[in-house]
């Protein structure tokens, strides 16, 4: 998978969280992911299809980080992941994909976005609808970790 595909998603996540939640995340080292088990507690997954490629992207947050983002974005902090938190994760997934879509369109890659699916619960799985390798990129913060997973064919 080419960095030109991955980097717009990473940059978009950092931008969305900085803009919407005044939060900085520290990117860690990307690696290949060989299973479907999520590394956090709540994930947004979105599919993308275009003339040159198809793939999917997910963003997973550990519970503490998701609740802190909720507090910063909406001024309320639930005790645990609830419907409002899963809605917020779906919206963040949409915003990140939209930002990456604009950046990739400038490079000549176009794709349509599906509606994000959100899954929560410790040990939940993420099924990328894609034959390619899955790249996982961890991010650290003082409130917990976030992970972007990206899988593209072609």
- What's the pLDDT band for 4 if we cut at 50, 70, 90? confident
User: Which alpha helices (H) appear in the chain, and where do they start and end?
Assistant: 3-21, 63-74, 83-106
Tell me: pLDDT of 102 over 90. yes
Predicted pLDDT of residue 121? 94
Sorted by where each begins, the domain ranges of the chain are 3-153
Tell me: pLDDT of 82 over 90. yes
Fold of 3-153: Chemotaxis protein chec (3.40.1550)
Predicted pLDDT of residue 154? 62
| Average pLDDT across the chain, whole number | 92
- What's the pLDDT band for 53 if we cut at 50, 70, 90? confident
Question: 0.75 exceeded by the pTM?
Answer: yes
Find the mean pLDDT for residues 138-148.
97
Q: Kindly compute the dihedral angle of the four CA atoms of residues 81, 83, 89, 93, in this order, to the nearest 10 degrees.
A: 150
Residue of higher predicted confidence among 3 and 110:
110
CB 53 within 8 A of CB 109: yes
Predicted pLDDT of residue 1? 53
Share of the chain above pLDDT 70, in %: 98
Find the mean pLDDT for residues 107-129.
90
């Amino acid at each position: 998978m080419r960095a030109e595909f991955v980097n717009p998603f990473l940059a978009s996540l950092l931008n969305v969280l900085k803009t919407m939640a005044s939060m900085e995340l520290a990117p860690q080292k990307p690696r290949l992911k060989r299973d479907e088990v999520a590394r956090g507690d709540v994930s947004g997954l979105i599919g993308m299809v275009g003339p040159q490629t198809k793939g999917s992207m997910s963003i997973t947050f550990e519970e503490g980080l998701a609740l802190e983002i909720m507090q910063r974005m909406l001024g309320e902090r639930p005790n645990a992941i609830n419907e409002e938190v899963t809605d917020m994760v779906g919206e963040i997934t949409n915003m990140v994909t939209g930002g990456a879509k604009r950046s990739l369109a400038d490079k000549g890659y176009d794709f349509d976005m599906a509606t994000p699916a959100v899954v929560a619960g410790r040990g939940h799985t993420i099924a990328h609808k894609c034959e390619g390798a899955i790249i996982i990129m961890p991010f650290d913060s003082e409130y917990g970790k976030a992970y972007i997973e990206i899988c593209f064919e072609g």
